Amino acid sequence: MSGINNIMDIARKGLFASQAAIEVTGQNISNVNTVGYSRRYVRLEESLQLDYRPGQIGMGVEAAEVLRHFDRFIETNYLDKSTMQQRYDTLFGSLKSVDSLLYESDKVGGISSSLTQFFSDWQKLTTETDNYAVRETLLADTDNLLSVIHQADAQMTRMQQQANEFIQQDVNDINLILDKIAGINGQLKQVEIPGQNNANALRDDRDRLVRELAGKLDINVITRGNEQDFTITTKAGHTLLQNDQTFSLKFEGPRVTSSLVAGSTFGADGKLYFDGMDDFEYTIDFVSAGTAGSEYSGDPATAAMFRVSLDGGKTWLKDENGVELQFPAGDEAHLVEVRGVKIWFGQQGSSLTPPSNGPEVGDDFIVAPKSGVYWYQDTSTSENITPQIYANGEDNNRRITGGSLAGFFNFRDNYIGQYRDKLDALAKELIWSVNSIHSEGAGLKKLSEATGTYQVFDSTVPLVNDTSGLFFRDKLQSGNLQFYVYDGTGAMVGTQSLDFSAYGITPGNPNFDPENHSLEDVRDAFNDAFNGMFPPPPPAVPVQASIVNGSLRIASGNGHTFGFGQDSTGLLAGLGINTYFSGTDATSIEINSAVASNTSLINAGHYNGAGEINKGDNLIALDIAALKDTKLDIHTDFGGTSHQTLSEFYNALVSSVGADTSGAQFNFSYQNSLAQDLDAQQQSLSGVNLDEEMSNLIKFQHSYTAAAKLISTADQMLQTLLGLKP
Amino acid sequence: MKRRILDSLNRQKNALSLLASLLGEEFSYLRQGNPQAVSGIELSVQDLLRQITSERVEMKSMIQAVAPGAARLTAFIQTLPEAERPEVAALLEELDRREQNCATLAAKNFELALALHDQSRKLLTFLHGKINPEQKETYTARGKFPKTKRGAAILQGRL
């Protein structure tokens, strides 16, 4: 009802509205320095209208609700940039430590200078072949070289372990943040009344947590225009949170997942088993099925064959000549080793029993021989969302691609993984190139015992077969090797080549053929040759070859000695007999223990055609010293085969670390600038501006004063009316 | 003349060093989101590039005076005494290295500037999208389809 009372009521509402506005302004002013606080305002609404004369008269103002200034669109863009900024920040910070590690290793006493010193020592040995001091120096400097290689490898391994700890921490944080957001969503549901009561502080808290979450992994925030319907997914679409329900992430150990083609019977009881660790995930794809009943024989002619990809099936592993590698599927007795991971097929309940059915063409398995992040849809269904980078540098968009998680995983798997791969390739090439020369040489004394440093899994299969397990099997070639036997007085009993004509599937051919001959054939060929040197009755055990723990051992008796000459097969280096180094990679490379304990076994010279070691012969030392400037074919699974000297290869590795670090730094700066730009825009909207708040304060103060004045005016009007006399 | 060519090469070397520091400064301004400072430094960069270009044009004419018909510095090096060649070759190598460094820095600046521009444009496009009526084809009060402008306009609307 219109009247003086209505004026009073209008003034009262004005007072309350101004008071509310001043309170909100005060709240803004006090929170000027609060991180994540969004500026608030009161939405004023005109009260109801009364139909009256001379027309509608309003009933004042209502302070309808308190709202916050916040732009979801800018925030979404900010989260995208911020997540990439965090990824590169993490990557840059981690790569800096590798850069400084290899930079240090490049200085005096580092890998590069130690490698130079190693070849320089061999050069010195060429002039003083029988000088024990020179030989001792060579051993000491080799020790130093191996020590810096081991240190670099061990440091990188430690960095990977450290990354694992950070990842575990991040995963815990993510689950915690998701729980907190779910809790806030639950509270919002209870507290909020749309259009009337907004829990702005809770919304600010939630957005602050969402920013924190985006720092850990790439996310999508879906509100469908309604802030109460709040869903967070990864960019790839895995739901992390839906209102007050959360889905958890777990950082878990190695595992296999299989994807079989329709109609494949392998899954009835078959299972892929593996043993070993690697930095990359293996996608195993069957390209041919095996012959019924012989799928797991380990024989490439009849076994089911598979190929392996390290980047989710985009590219497939190739050998040094660029030919795609294919491996036979074997049971536990015919397992194959791929990049140090042993793979075989067994029954689900028993890894030792071959499965009933073989895999079909197109059957795929993903072997993750490393720990990774898994998204749990429910307690039993999980999905691997570990970040993965393809060979062309692109991210696998079905996985995590942002935040510190992606940074740590990229660092642990792709960057360090590839650096370690290159360091392993360097060590492998150093071992092979030195050993293949050294094994054909002669030291200062003849051998009475030689045990191979490399083992086979199966001594009955041809050595080149993947199931033989011999590390350097790809290096073996057809040909023959020469050896010499001496009696107790040092006089030569005889010189002979091995005769393989009685073995394998090519009878009549005396040469060794890696495609046909097994380690047992090699042992037998040695024994036949030794026995042939001693007419019956031969002395007891003059020289005998045997297989001990998968390695070939040649031992003499009765004071006999022996030595090796030219070897066109690579057998001696491949089996680790009469070699300088043992081991296969940066972690395992060592000086052959026989050489390390006896400097006279360092081969500087060779046996001449008459089986003699000439004093001053330096042929082998010269050849090894010449390796310093020899361009070698060095193969890595990611970089292919490069034709470089060992030093050039190592320097290229150091340069690539520098380039990666600088690339990560630029990417960080780039994403950081974009994120800051968006944050500044969000801040210009939701940040508190004291000047603006001051002017608002004055404005609302005046409104309040005017409303108060309205009360006194109404009061005076009432007094006037009451003062009227009849 | 040879001395003047060498002096010019040295000047170019120093100019490229200056250019690299200017580009680095421009990058830091871009990172701070300070367009005014970027404009200022870009003027200096352009002027320096102009000076380097004129230095090169002048040097080319000097080379042709020393070795008629020679278009490249490698031909000029052949005219030098054997003992002086390695020093000049090293100078050329350094010039090339600095030039490549400048090219990398310029590419980085370009990429960041473009990304910031794209980001602003994306926000503006979004804003325009919000301002524009979502439905283009609606009936007016007079019962016919009006011809609506696709873009936002102050004085045109469907009120």
* Average pLDDT along chain A: 91
> Which H or E run includes A546?
strand A543-548
pLDDT of residue A542: 85
In A139-230, which ranges are E strands?
219-222
In the structure, what pLDDT confidence band is assigned to residue B68 with cuts at 50, 70 and 90?
A: confident
In the structure, what pLDDT confidence band is assigned to residue A53 with cuts at 50, 70 and 90?
A: confident
Cβ contacts of A82 within 8 Å, gap of 6 or more: A211, A214, A215, A671, A675, A679
Q: What is the pLDDT of residues A81-125, one digit of tens each?
A: 999 999 999 999 999 999 888 876 666 678 999 999 999 999 999
Q: What is the pLDDT of residues A141-160, one digit of tens each?
A: 999 999 999 999 999 999 99
Q: With contacts defined as CB-CB under 8 Å, which chain A residues touch B30?
A: 673
The reply to whether A52 touches chain B by the CB within 8 Å rule is no
Strand pairing category for A481-486 and A492-497 = antiparallel
Percent of chain B with pLDDT over 90: 46
Residue A674: which of B108, B116, B126 has the nearest Cβ?
B116
According to DSSP, the residues that pair with A496 across neighbouring strands are: A483
Residue A387 has pLDDT above 60, yes or no: yes
Residue that the structure tokens 């003027």 belong to: B43
Interface test with B, best of A677, A681, A682 (most B CBs within 10 A): A677
In the structure, what pLDDT confidence band is assigned to residue B134 with cuts at 50, 70 and 90?
A: low
Residue B159 has pLDDT above 60, yes or no: no
Least confident span in A56-60, A339-343, A641-645, B80-84: B80-84
Are A653 and A421 spatial neighbours (Cβ–Cβ below 8 Å)? no
Cβ contacts of B63 within 8 Å, gap of 6 or more: B5, B70, B73, B75, B76
According to DSSP, the residues that pair with A337 across neighbouring strands are: A342
Q: A residues 661-720 near B, CB within 8 Å? A: 666, 669-670, 672-674, 676-678, 680-681
* Average pLDDT along chain B: 85
Q: How far apart are CA A513 and CA A503, in angstroms?
A: 10
Residue B119: which of A669, A672, A678 has the nearest Cβ?
A678
Q: How far apart are CA B98 and CA A181, in angstroms?
A: 51
Tokens representing residue A318 in the block: 């190739």
Residue type, B96: D
Residue A508 has pLDDT above 80, yes or no: no
pLDDT of residue A502: 79
In the structure, what pLDDT confidence band is assigned to residue B49 with cuts at 50, 70 and 90?
A: very high
Q: How far apart are CA A664 and CA A387, in angstroms?
A: 17
Most confident of A158-172, A264-278, A351-365: A158-172
In the structure, what pLDDT confidence band is assigned to residue A594 with cuts at 50, 70 and 90?
A: very high
pLDDT of residue A726: 63
pLDDT of residue A107: 66
Residue of A nearest to B119 (CA): A674
Three-state SS for B79? coil
pLDDT of residue A195: 83
Q: What is the pLDDT of residues A258-312, one digit of tens each?
A: 889 988 888 888 899 999 989 899 999 999 988 877 788 878 888 899 999 998 8
Residue of B nearest to A677 (CA): B33
Q: Do B119 and A669 touch (CB under 8 A)?
A: no
pLDDT of residue B77: 83
Q: With contacts defined as CB-CB under 8 Å, which chain A residues touch B123?
A: 73-74, 77, 681
In the structure, what pLDDT confidence band is assigned to residue B138 with cuts at 50, 70 and 90?
A: low
Residue that the structure tokens 């050489």 belong to: A595
Are A579 and A439 spatial neighbours (Cβ–Cβ below 8 Å)? yes
Residue B149 has pLDDT above 70, yes or no: no
In the structure, what pLDDT confidence band is assigned to residue A342 with cuts at 50, 70 and 90?
A: very high
pLDDT of residue A533: 84
Helix axes A619-626, A111-127, angle to 10 degrees: 150
Q: With contacts defined as CB-CB under 8 Å, which chain A residues touch B115?
A: 670, 673-674
pLDDT of residue B132: 74
Residue A691 has pLDDT above 90, yes or no: yes
Percent of chain A with pLDDT over 90: 68
pLDDT of residue A504: 67
pLDDT of residue A296: 84
Cis peptide before B133 (omega within 30 of 0): no
Q: How far apart are CA B37 and CA B22, in angstroms?
A: 12
Q: What is the pLDDT of residues A635-665, one digit of tens each?
A: 888 888 889 999 999 999 999 999 999 999 9
pLDDT of residue B88: 87
